[in-house]
Amino acid sequence: MPSDRNPVKHQLAIYGPAALLVVAAFLLALQFIKPAPPDRVVMATGAADGAYHAFAKRYAAFLAREGIELELRQSAGSIENLALLRSGEVALALVQGGVDDSPGDSAGLESLGSVYYEPLWLFHRSDLPLRQLRGLGGHRIAIGPEGSGTRALVTRLLRENGVAENPEWLDLGGRVAVDALRAGEIDAVFLVTSAQNELVQLLLRDADVTLFDVARADAYTRRHRFLNSLLLPEGAVDLAANIPDAPKRLLAPAANLVSHPDLHPAVIDLLLQAANEVHRDGGWFESQDEFPMPGLLAFPLNREAERYYEHGPPLLQRFLPFWAASLVDRLKVMLLPLLVLLFPLLKVMPPIYTWRMRARVYRWYDELEQAEHRLAMGERDKSWVEAELDRIESEVQRVKVPLSFTDQLYHLRQHIDLVRRGKGS
């Protein structure tokens, strides 16, 4: 009796269509898989000696450990950074709060959170008595280069104090402006930067320079919600030298991480982890673990960033390298057809396979039963029954089934022989 010792072709006949169905489902799901995170992201910072660039270098070091290059692009400051973001030349930037002068043309820009306070420092010559900003009228002041957040903020505040723009407003910033003040070439300099900036530290210790105390700080914060009032306590810089020699009130917007809407969500998660590592210890004005935070925003909060602040880093990124977590996150869409189709098919297909193999044998019992019934009723002569049984037996001998079902073929042949021996009774 023929049998098929290799049942693979029978199994393929049953499982093959199911496998094709699963493959088709996978191909359909493939259309919905998120693209892989980029291995290179361009970020606009600021001047090479500024706080933005210094912090961005620390972000870049964090991302480099995860295989992503953060390319830093120097700029004049926040205004230029926003222009670069809107044009799509960069995907990420540090931006000073309150400098966006065209909110209707934000191009979908989103904040990933604020990362630290950026105090507005006004240093002036010690021999220049200055109680309010309006006292700067007619003096040579450095307000920051074109395209900088410093210039945008200072221009707004000076105009509100009735100080009209004039040729004495110099487009100087950073070390050039500080050197000019210390050399007596200008009367005052505005800086928007962190307290840890070396230029701020240098001016705080210069006996010929005085840090301006913003006595009306609360009034400014009422007028501008993006501003905060900070207090630099007496002696905070140097207790032995008592620097500063009196408490100083400062105004401060918050530095924001701002992204282009096309920035990959996985990069956003990774970047916020970098920001947390860099800023969580705080500084002179920030409490520990205060930053990064989803407040003091320049633009609407990104949804992925909102999820990060609510739940922390993605679960996979807590236990896997970034590349592995990203791969699993992308492929989880592919698990849907596996769960929806493959598991039920694995449960249903074995019974179907068994039924198909048995059907090759059982189908002959119907004809065998009919021959036996006609024989018993005397409707046919014995020669017809003999011929019918020979035909059935001949067909059965050509039936091929796996070895595991051969016993059922032998049972069928025994039943054919039983009917044959009963035809003469």
Run means of pLDDT, 10 residues per run, the chain, 425 residues = 51 61 62 71 90 94 92 92 94 90 68 95 95 93 90 93 88 92 96 88 95 96 92 94 95 95 90 94 90 92 92 72 62 63 64 69 75 68 73 74 72 78 59
> Would you state the pLDDT for residue 35?
64
- Determine which helix (DSSP H) or strand (DSSP E) holds 393, and give its type and residue range: helix 382-397
pLDDT at 195: 83
Q: Are 181 and 150 in contact (CB under 8 A)?
A: no
Distance CA 166, CA 163 (A): 9
How large is the C-alpha radius of gyration of the chain?
40
pLDDT of residue 346: 65
The structure tokens 């989803």 sit at: 294
Beta partners for 69?
40
- Residue ranges of the domains in the chain? 8-26+347-422, 37-114+257-313, 119-252
19-74 per-position pLDDT tens digit: 666 666 666 655 555 666 788 999 999 888 888 999 999 999 999 998 899 999 99
91 CB contacts (<8 Å, ≥6 apart)? Answer: 41, 42, 43, 85, 259, 260, 262, 263
Cα angle value 75/81/82 (rounded, 5°): 160
The upper half-sphere exposure of residue 319, i.e. CA atoms within 13 Å in the direction of its Cβ, equals 4
- Position 424 scores a pLDDT of 46
Q: Indicate the pairing of strand 69-73 with strand 92-96.
A: unpaired
Report field, pTM of the whole predicted structure over 0.85: no
Span 37-114+257-313 CATH architecture: 3-Layer(aba) Sandwich (3.40)
pLDDT value of residue 3: 47
In this structure, the number of other CB atoms found within 10 A of the CB of residue 157 comes to 20
What is the reported pLDDT for 335? 65
Q: What is the homologous superfamily of the domain 119-252 according to CATH?
A: Periplasmic binding protein-like II (3.40.190.10)
Taking a C-beta distance cutoff of 8 angstroms, is the pair 361, 401 a contact?
A: yes
Return the pLDDT at 114.
95
Q: Are 187 and 140 in contact (CB under 8 A)?
A: yes
pLDDT for the residue numbered 155 = 92
